[in-house]
């Protein structure tokens, strides 16, 4: 991929990314704010999503763009953080004009992190607002930050044998086209290096000095594992391409292949896996080109989510075995 030059996700103009978290209680949220409107599509493959306003993103819906995207911990409770995002956008006069009112369009999804430390503490409107304020700093961070604060992986045998994960970002540029990804990896499965069979994080063995294959364990434990519905990988693709909503739904679907290349197993009935795709609408391209690159950057972002996460809350991390 030598012609794909790595860049910062913040190099893609027209968006801002921010985070807020409660480190003590292992939860947080992350936001993508659109300075203008961003055309948005979504691909939901998990069986148990906690989401907001995704119906607006269907090609048959009249919506033609969003103003904010929320990625949050707290399961369905964390959707409350979107109220703070709407408040921030309204104060900055960003939204859809409806009569005399201004209505910011904010979509979002949440991971289940309630079992990490304290299930009584979840992202709320104040935390959503704080993440928006944080976006003004234009800082790219990975690992234990924002919605990745309470993320874990390798939970097929329960929380005791899981490992710490987090949030990852990755972006590239080819010519004038820019495509980036942000992802929160909270999978029941293991995380593998993109396009290799090298396991980076996941299910710990009995001695907790190495890792096992969640795929193999799933064959034996899937009925037991169904009790542990503490999963979901959520994220977004951001591009400066000029594509319509139908095309961005295709980009989101192609991007999800990046999860399939790095997480095993994936998209089970216990997951809420959801990938959004936002276009700022500047550079001419095709959804197939953007989708191909999106799959790659999302896979790289998944890898970064575990590689740049440190041990926390008693969980080992990928760095524990480097």
| Predicted pLDDT of residue 2 | 58
Q: Where are the alpha helices (DSSP H) in the chain?
A: 81-91, 125-134, 214-225, 245-255, 257-260, 287-307
| Predicted pLDDT of residue 272 | 82
3-class state of residue 76 by DSSP: helix
Q: In this predicted model, what pLDDT tens digit does every residue of 184-231 receive, in sequence order?
A: 999 989 999 998 889 999 999 999 999 999 988 877 765 555 555 567
Q: Which of 278, 269, 271, 81 is nearest to 185 (CA)?
A: 271
Q: In this predicted model, what pLDDT tens digit does every residue of 271-302 receive, in sequence order?
A: 789 999 999 988 999 999 999 999 999 999 99
Residue-range domain boundaries for the chain: 5-321
3-class state of residue 52 by DSSP: strand
**62: phi > 0 → left, psi -120 to 50 → alpha, else beta; which?**
alpha
Contact 302, 183 (CB under 8 A): yes
| Predicted pLDDT of residue 222 | 56
Residues of the chain falling short of pLDDT 70:
1-2, 221-230
Tell me which fold the domain 5-321 belongs to: 3.60.70
């Amino acid at each position: 991929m030598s012609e794909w030059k790595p860049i910062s996700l913040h190099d893609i103009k027209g968006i801002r990314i921010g985070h807020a978290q409660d480190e003590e209680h292992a939860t947080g949220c992350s936001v993508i704010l659109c300075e203008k409107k961003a055309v948005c599509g979504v691909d939901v493959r998990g069986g148990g999503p906690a989401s907001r306003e995704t119906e607006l993103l269907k090609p048959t819906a009249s919506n033609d763009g969003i103003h904010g995207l929320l990625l949050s911990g707290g399961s369905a409770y964390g959707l409350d953080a979107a109220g703070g995002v709407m408040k921030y956008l309204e104060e900055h006069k960003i939204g859809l004009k409806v009569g005399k009112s201004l209505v910011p369009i904010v979509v979002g999804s949440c991971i289940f992190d309630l079992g990490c430390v304290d299930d009584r503490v979840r992202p709320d409107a104040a935390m959503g607002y704080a993440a928006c304020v944080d976006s003004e700093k234009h800082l790219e961070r990975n690992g234990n930050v924002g919605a990745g604060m309470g993320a874990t992986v390798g939970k097929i045998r329960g929380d005791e044998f899981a490992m710490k994960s987090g949030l990852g970002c990755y972006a590239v540029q080819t010519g004038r086209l820019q495509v980036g990804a942000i992802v929160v990896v909270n999978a029941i499965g293991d995380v593998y290096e993109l396009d290799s069979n090298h396991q980076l994080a996941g299910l710990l063995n009995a001695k907790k000095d190495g890792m096992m294959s969640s795929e193999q364990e799933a064959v034996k434990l899937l009925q037991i594992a169904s009790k542990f519905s503490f999963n979901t990988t959520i994220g977004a693709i951001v591009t400066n391409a000029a594509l319509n909503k139908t095309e961005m739904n295709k980009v989101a679907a192609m991007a999800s292949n990046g999860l399939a290349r790095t997480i095993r197993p994936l998209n089970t009935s216990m997951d809420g896996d959801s990938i959004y795709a936002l276009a700022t609408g500047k550079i001419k391209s095709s959804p197939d080109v953007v989708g191909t690159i999106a799959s790659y950057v999302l896979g790289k972002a998944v890898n970064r989510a575990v590689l740049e996460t440190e041990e926390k809350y008693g969980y080992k991390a990928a760095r524990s075995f480097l």
